[in-house]
Amino acid sequence: MNPLRPVILAAADSPRMKRVLTGNPVTAEIVRRFVAGEGRDELLPVVADLLASRRLISVDFLGENTTDRASAEATVAEYLSLINALAAIERPVLPGIGAAPVEVSVKLSALGQSLPADGLAISLDNLRTLCVGAAAAGVWVTVDAEDHTTTDATLATVRALRTEFPWLGAVLQAYLHRTESDCVEFAGPGSRIRLCKGAYREPHRVAFQRATEVTDAYLRCLQVLMHGRGYPMVATHDPVLILAAEAMAAETGRPAHRFEHQMLYGIRDAEQLRLTGAGYAMRVYIPYGSQWYGYLTRRLAERPANLTFFLRALVGKS
């Protein structure tokens, strides 16, 4: 794992760093690489272009750790408008691929999960409202994974709503020690699981820290999902894991339309197009919105080169 990662993720929690980054015009250039825009007007042309290139999409309205109920409700309202706007965009016809081309991704902390007292019930109700709107529009929903203190609550919410909305997806993070057994639970028929490495700063007692350990854990989790009866979503840019997914699919007799590759907007675009051209379902996760700070710092922490680029730009413009 990148040795600077814990340092950057720790610094990212500092309100001072947040003020410096969000108040600096140079940041906007970096943000643009990873975030489609602040509003739907900037997002929708990006979505249309990606769909026209035969890639599938998942849109995330940026926001996390909502501290009041009104903000959680405003997030739901934005998602419902987003879903309607997405439903109006022309979708590609992809022979042999049964996945919904359009999906939204959502963080339960943005829907009120951490509100005192009844946060869990509020976020569950809000997610249900969102799923009702999505079902009517033929759009899928997947629930993002946040830090490990939320995993039990998030998976309980997904479990509860999957009885009404069996297509509701969840994210599992391979770096958590618990995830291999979560994969066993969520590998049943119809279960959509997005497997990623994990992007938060987590303690040793709950998460693997070394890059090789995380890669090995990812491979073990992917084996479980690929051997299961659900729909694995292989969310990684790592060439080793992408090849492993293809090999496991061949070994388990899983055709290309029974799983999908997923990557983040702005990362490994040529590889996204290669996978699409090779007949795989390739979904791009596209964030938009003004609350991009947490998302950006996680992307900077993943790759020292991003941080170097960013610091050079800062120094160059100061």
Q: Which residues bind ligand FDA (CB under 6 A)?
A: 144-145, 171, 173, 194, 196-200, 235-238, 262-264, 267-268, 285, 299, 302-303, 306
State the CB neighbour count (10 A cutoff) for residue 284.
25
Report the distance separating Cα 292 and Cα 289, nearest Å: 7
Are the C-beta atoms of residues 130 and 167 closer than 8 Å to each other? no
Nearest CB to ligand FDA, comparing residues 41 and 49: 49
Q: Give the shortest CB-57-to-ligand FDA separation in angstroms.
A: 10
Q: Give the shortest CB-302-to-ligand FDA separation in angstroms.
A: 4
Nearest CB to ligand FDA, comparing residues 69 and 266: 266
- Give the three-class secondary structure for 172: strand
Tokens 């995380």 identify what position? 214
User: Does 238 qualify as catalytic in the annotation?
Assistant: no
Tokens 């739901």 identify what position? 76
State the CB neighbour count (10 A cutoff) for residue 191.
22
> Could you give the residue ranges of the DSSP H alpha helices within the chain?
5-12, 15-22, 25-34, 40-52, 69-87, 119-137, 151-162, 179-185, 211-227, 239-251, 269-277, 293-302, 304-317
- Residue 135 one-letter amino acid: A
Q: Give the shortest CB-58-to-ligand FDA separation in angstroms.
A: 7
User: Does 194 qualify as catalytic in the annotation?
Assistant: yes
Instruction: Give the residue closest to ligand FDA by C-beta.
Output: 237
Instruction: Tell me the two tokens of residue 283.
Output: 């979904």
Instruction: Tell me the two tokens of residue 67.
Output: 């501290």
- Residue 12 one-letter amino acid: A
- Give the three-class secondary structure for 308: helix
Q: Give the shortest CB-165-to-ligand FDA separation in angstroms.
A: 18
Q: 40, 55, 144, 254: which one is catalytic?
A: 144
Nearest CB to ligand FDA, comparing residues 165 and 218: 218
Nearest CB to ligand FDA, comparing residues 69 and 269: 269
Are the C-beta atoms of residues 249 and 278 closer than 8 Å to each other? no
Q: 5, 40, 55, 194: which one is catalytic?
A: 194
Q: Give the shortest CB-253-to-ligand FDA separation in angstroms.
A: 25
Nearest CB to ligand FDA, comparing residues 116 and 203: 203
Which amino acids are annotated catalytic?
144, 194
